[in-house]
Amino acid sequence: MRAARCPIVGVSRVRRGVVLLGMILLLALARGPDHAAAVDGVELALEVPPTIQVGDDIPIMVRLTASGAPLSGQIVELRVDDQIAMRAVTGPDGAAGFQVRGTLAAGDYAFVASFPGTDTLATATTAATVTVEPAMLEIRTVPSLPGVTFTLDGHPFAADAEGIARFPISQPGTFRLEAPPRADLSTTQRADFSRWSDDVYVGFRDITIPGQRRLVAGFLVSYLTNLTFADAEGEFVPPTRISSIRVRTAQGQTLDLDPQVAQWLPATTVVKTPAGLRAQPVRYSVQEVIVDGIRTVRRGEVTFTLRPEVAPSIPLSLHRITVAGRATLLGDRVGTGVVLQHPDGTREYRPYDETGAATFDGLPIGTYRAWILGAGGYARAQLFDLVPGATITIPVITYFLMGLVLAIPVGLLFALLVVSGTRVGRFLPAGVGQPVGIARRFMYGVAGVAAVVGVIGLGYGLTAVHGSWLLTPDRLLQPAETLAATWDAEPEPTATAVVPASETRPAVEVAEVFRRLWNASGGPRVFGRPVGAAYQQVDAETGVTLTIQYFDRARFELHPHLAGTRYEIQLGRLGWEEAARRGLLGTEPFQPVPAATAEQSANCDYFPTTGHRVCGHFRTFWRNNGLRLGDSGISFRESLALFGYPISEEFPDPDTGLIVQYFERARLEYRPEQAGTPGEVTLGELEGIDP
C-alpha cells in the first residue's frame, strides 16, 4: 500500500511547484516596466548634525524611499569610520533613527548609511561628515572674579572679563578639576574658595565627560581694610585713641579688631537661592568701640559694608567742650591753659585760644577733672560730668584778689592809727597821753597807704609772675614747660567702687544712685558690666531730665519726678527696642496667641496683657529673678519690673540659632549644652546699647 502511494505524493508536490512558478511569472509579466523602475528608484537620505561637542550623543536619521514613496520594514546599516556598525528597521515613514553615544574624541568622522537591497529593491548607500568639536568646560565665578585661575588635570585656565573660565576638552573621560583655595585679586583684595553650586564644599573634584560641563564656583571676597573714626562733629579721630573695637557679622561671627592695623575682612559671601548661588555683602554691626575706657557707640546701631578702596567710617559718641578759668569777682580770664584728666586717668594739656578758653575735642561721655595752669592764684581741680558742647568755667581766687581783700584790714588798721592816734600813742616815742602831732599822723597815713599798696602790689606781682595774663596776653598760647610745676592743686585719689575691668574694657563705675539696686538685683550676673558712665538725658516723651546708665544687658533710668515711689528707678524697654530695630515685631513669634488656643499647663504662664506665654526653663528663670523692690522673696511685680511682659513666644534666633524669647526689657537665651548650670538660661546682650 505505501509503495503504491509514493508516486502519487511526488506527482502532487511537482504539480504545486509548477502552479507557484506560474503565478510568479504571471505577476512579473503583469507588472512589467513598473517593476524595473521601482528597483532603479531606491534612494537613501542621511541626516546628521554638522557639528557636535565631545560627550554629546549624536542623533542620526536615515530615510529610505523608492520613487519618493517611503519604504517601511527595511533594514538599514550605519557605519562610523568603519569602526562602529549599527542596524535599524525603517518605520512607516521610511525613517530609521540612530543614537551614537558621546564617546568620540574631537575630530572629523565619516558616517556611511547603506541599504543592502532585496530581490525586488536595489541597494543604496549615502555618506556624510560629522565634526566633533571639543567640549567646553565652563565655570562661572560668584561674584564675578576676572583672572581667577582653575586647573584641569594640571592645566591652568583663567576666568575672562565676565568672570567665566572656559577650557576645551578634546576627548571623553574623567578629569580632576581644582579651584584655587585663595586668589589674590590685588594688593587689597583677595578671594577664598567657599563652595560649588551643587553643594560640594571642597575646591577639588572629579568631572566626567560626558557629564556636567557648567559649574558655578562661589568665593568669599575679603578686603584689606583700615577702619576710620569720626566724632560727633564729623572730625577725624586718630586710631591711636581707640583701645579696642569689636564688630559682629550678620552671620553671628564676632571679631575683635586692631584699629591701628589694616586687616583682612570678609566683604561678600555666597548664599544658595532657588535661582542658584548669589553674592551677598557681609554686613557688620559695631558692638563696641572703647575710647578712654568708655564705650562710644550704641551696640548694633552702627552698621557698615565693605567697598573696594573705601574705608568705612564709624561715627563715635565723642564730643567737644571748652574749659576756662575766670577770676572770682573780677570775671577776667586767668591762666594759660587747662589740664584735663580723662575717665581712664590719662591727662591732656591744651593752651588757651584767642577766646581765653581751652577746647577739647573727641571726648566720650564720662566724668572728668580739670585744672587751670598759670592761674596766678588758688584754683581747685574741677570734677564734672561731660555734657556735649558745654563750657566749663573754673573759678580762680587770684593773688591779686587776695591782696585786695588783705588790703582792707591793713588800711582800716592804719586809718585807726591816724584817727585815734592819742589812744595808741603809747606805742610811739611821745609821752603817755600826749596828743599825736600832725606830722606824726601824716606818717601814719603814709605808712598805711604804703602798706595797702604793698599788699596789693604783692598780690599783683605774684599773679603776674605765676600767671602772665596781666603783662603779656600773647603768652596765653604758650603751654607750661612741665605739668608738675604749674598746676595749683594735685587731685587726691578717691576710693570708688568699680566693676572689675576685662582685657578689652577698662573699669567703669556703677553710678551711686543705681549701685544699691544693681547689687541687690544680681549685679553683673544679671545686668552685665556698665558700658559707660551715667549721664543725663531729656526724655523726649515727658520732657523730664533723666539720669541714665547703660549696662551690657540693661539700661537703668532715674526718674526724679517719681522720687520716693517704687518707680523712681526703672529699667529701659531694651527688649522691645531691639526687636523693633531688627524688624522682628510683626513676625510670627511676636503675634499674640489667643487665650482660647494657648496651651494651658502647669509649666506655662499665660499673660493676657500681651497674649504670650512663658514656659519651661524661661518661666523658671523669670520667676527666680527680679528687680529688688523690698518684697519678700521674688515677687511677681519684681520679676515684671526686671523683665517686663513677654512680647514673643520662644523661637530660634535667625542670626545665632539659639532659642530665645523677647520681653519688654530683656531677651532670654536658652543653651541646652549648659543644662543644669547657671548658664542654661541667660539674659542676652542687647544691641543698641547707648554709651
Stretch 10-36: mean pLDDT, rounded? Answer: 45
Confidence label for 215 from pLDDT (cuts 50, 70 and 90): very high
Q: Is residue 609 part of a domain?
A: yes
What percent of the chain clears pLDDT 70, i.e. is strictly above it? 75
18 & 74 share domain: no
Stretch 576-585: mean pLDDT, rounded? Answer: 88
76 & 172 share domain: no
Comparison of pLDDT for 450 and 469, the residue scoring more: 450
Q: Is residue 373 part of a domain?
A: no
585 & 674 share domain: yes
d(CA 665, CA 136): 60
Give the per-residue pLDDT at 476: 34
| Highest-scoring range by mean pLDDT, 37-41, 339-343, 589-593 | 589-593
241 & 282 share domain: yes
Cell match 561715627: residue?
Answer: 315
CATH of the domain at 143: 2.60.40
Residues 60-88: tens digit of each pLDDT: 999 999 888 898 999 999 998 877 788 99
581 & 675 share domain: yes
Question: Do the strands 391-398 and 318-327 form a parallel or antiparallel pair, or are they unpaired?
Answer: parallel
Residues 525-566: tens digit of each pLDDT: 788 888 888 888 888 777 888 999 988 888 899 988 888 877
Question: Do the strands 284-291 and 242-249 form a parallel or antiparallel pair, or are they unpaired?
Answer: antiparallel
What percent of the chain clears pLDDT 90, i.e. is strictly above it? 20
d(CA 562, CA 18): 133
CATH of the domain at 69: 2.60.40.2470
- Per-residue pLDDT for 488 more than 80? no
Q: What mean pLDDT, rounded, does the chain reach?
A: 78
CB 383 within 8 A of CB 367: yes
Stretch 307-311: mean pLDDT, rounded? Answer: 81
Residues 247-287: tens digit of each pLDDT: 988 877 888 888 888 889 999 999 888 888 999 999 999 98
149 & 78 share domain: no
Confidence label for 38 from pLDDT (cuts 50, 70 and 90): very low
Q: Is residue 280 part of a domain?
A: yes
How far does Cα 184 stand from its chain's mean position? 23
- Per-residue pLDDT for 184 more than 50? yes
Q: Is residue 606 part of a domain?
A: yes
Residues 468-486: tens digit of each pLDDT: 443 333 333 333 333 333 3
- Per-residue pLDDT for 571 more than 60? yes
The total domain count for the chain is 5
596 & 669 share domain: yes
Give the per-residue pLDDT at 462: 55
C-alpha count within 13 angstroms, C-beta hemisphere, residue 81: 10
Residues 102-139: tens digit of each pLDDT: 888 889 988 899 998 888 888 999 999 999 999 899 99
Give the per-residue pLDDT at 407: 56
603 & 623 share domain: yes
Residues 398-413: tens digit of each pLDDT: 655 565 666 567 566 6
Comparison of pLDDT for 169 and 16, the residue scoring more: 169
Q: What DSSP designation does 344 have?
A: T
Query: Rounded to whole angstroms, what are the CA distances from 549 to 288, 531, 540, 560, 629?
Result: 16, 8, 17, 15, 19
d(CA 464, CA 375): 9
Last residue of a domain, one of 93, 117, 133: 133
- Per-residue pLDDT for 421 more than 80? no
- Burial (0-12, 13-18, 19+ Cβ within 10 Å), 341: middle
- Per-residue pLDDT for 495 more than 70? no
Last residue of a domain, one of 167, 186, 221: 221
Q: Is 81 left (phi over 0), alpha (psi -120 to 50) or beta?
A: left
- Burial (0-12, 13-18, 19+ Cβ within 10 Å), 378: middle
Give the per-residue pLDDT at 27: 40
Degrees, nearest 5: CA angle 490-492-496: 145
Stretch 1-28: mean pLDDT, rounded? Answer: 43
Q: Is residue 182 part of a domain?
A: yes
Confidence label for 376 from pLDDT (cuts 50, 70 and 90): low
Give the per-residue pLDDT at 570: 87
Q: Is residue 534 part of a domain?
A: no
Give the per-residue pLDDT at 268: 92
> How far is it between the farthest Cα atoms of the chain?
212
230 & 246 share domain: yes
Cell match 603751654: residue?
Answer: 479
Last residue of a domain, one of 221, 239, 268: 221
- Per-residue pLDDT for 366 more than 70? yes
596 & 648 share domain: yes
d(CA 283, CA 285): 7
SS3 461: helix
Residue-level length of the chain = 691
Residues 218-254: tens digit of each pLDDT: 999 999 988 889 888 888 888 888 888 999 888 778 8
* DSSP secondary structure, 119-134, as one string: SSS--EEEEEEEEEEP
Stretch 447-474: mean pLDDT, rounded? Answer: 54
238 & 276 share domain: yes
- Per-residue pLDDT for 686 more than 60? yes
Q: Is residue 325 part of a domain?
A: no
Residues 622-663: tens digit of each pLDDT: 988 888 777 777 888 888 888 889 999 999 988 778 899 999
57 & 80 share domain: yes
Q: Considering Cα of 399, then 403, then 409, then 413, what sign does the dihedral take? A: positive
Q: Is residue 25 part of a domain?
A: yes
**Residue 292: which domain range?**
226-315
Give the per-residue pLDDT at 672: 83
SS3 559: coil
- Per-residue pLDDT for 497 more than 70? no
